[in-house]
Structure 1
């Protein structure tokens, strides 16, 4: 009797796991160990992460000729726990997420707390008008409008590119 007669799959009929379920198992185990020993990366507030691993808020940066608009997702954070600073053409967003959960049922008590600080610095290419910055916080979304300085907008100009001859210099 040959080894292929003892296996539950045939070469002509692949299994749901591919041709070789043991290779798939090995690949998954290798991935598991790679993920376990990989350095920890900051995680977003969204996306099913546990409360302790929530380190970095997701941000969107939109730039027009007139202004920057920066949005940061900060669900479950009190606006008083958020701080914004503008320095050297960079906006820094920092804060702390605090979460506390308590349950009592008869003589049983369950309590869980988690805290996590975050800080994001967003460099800005153009100088902004610091006196006219607006920030709003609604339903866990922080939106910051940073108008560009008029002088900084005037410094941008298109440079003409001169073409050479097709044959080279």
Structure 2
């Protein structure tokens, strides 16, 4: 069994024709939003310790597959496991997280207080054979690992249709 990079862009069986048409546009919008989220809108004037940006960029995600499961690895440095949510809904894997940081310096004549907050959300399309009811996730050392088992009985999302020559009347 070898791992292969996976880009699940196949339409889901449960989606209607209209939703299948809109799916690529929805994925494009998500990627464009991610690009703008990664772009620094505000540059800090003064670096006060380890400062968080106004919002965290979308975390790096790697998805591979084996014969038995899809494996999703997400980089979430500095975010504790209790601040991460993983949900499965309608053929999507939804990963959310937030990081907060508060710092206060008290000196003789002044007090300086600073708060930072950042949140992210990633939505990953899952193939039709993903078993949503048996997903497992573990977080350790800033890395979230999610295992999505595959259903061997699932009908393939795509199959080749033979074209026969029509009889002439």
TM-score (norm 2): 0.58
Out of 100, 103, 109, the residue aligned to residue 101 of structure 1 is: 103
Indicate the residue corresponding to 2:36 in structure 1. Answer: 41
Is 1:66 the counterpart of 2:61 in the alignment? no
What does the per-residue CA deviation read over 1:97-136, in whole Å, with 9 as the maximum and x for residues that have no partner?
A: 2112223344343321111221110001232223321100
Question: Whole-Å Cα distance in 1 between the matches of residues 157 and 58 of structure 2?
Answer: 33
SS in 1 for 2:54: helix
How do 1:104-115 residues align onto structure 2 when only pairs under 5 Å count?
104-115=106-117
Report the count of equivalent residues: 119
Shift of 1:80: 1.3
Q: 1:56 aligns with which of 31, 55, 58?
A: 58
Output one character per residue of 1:15-34: Cα deviation in whole Å (capped at 9) or x when no partner: xxxxxxxxxxxxxxxxxxxx
Cα gap change, 1:71 to 1:63, in 2 (>3 Å): same
User: Structure 2 stretches of 5 or more lacking a match?
Assistant: 1-34, 40-49, 163-169
* 2:125 corresponds to: 123
Contact 1:71 1:144 in 2 (8 A): yes
Give the number of the structure whose residues are more often helix, by fraction: 1
> Which runs of no fewer than 5 residues in structure 1 stay unpaired?
1-39, 162-169
**Which residue number in structure 2 is paired with residue 3 of structure 1?**
none
C-alpha contact 1:136 1:143 (8 A) present in aligned 2: yes
- Distance in 1, matches of 2:149 and 2:110, equals 54
Q: Which has the larger radius of gyration?
A: 1
> Is 1:155 equivalent to 2:131 in the alignment?
no
TM-score using structure 1 length? 0.58
Runs of 4+ in 1 over 6 A off after TM superposition: none
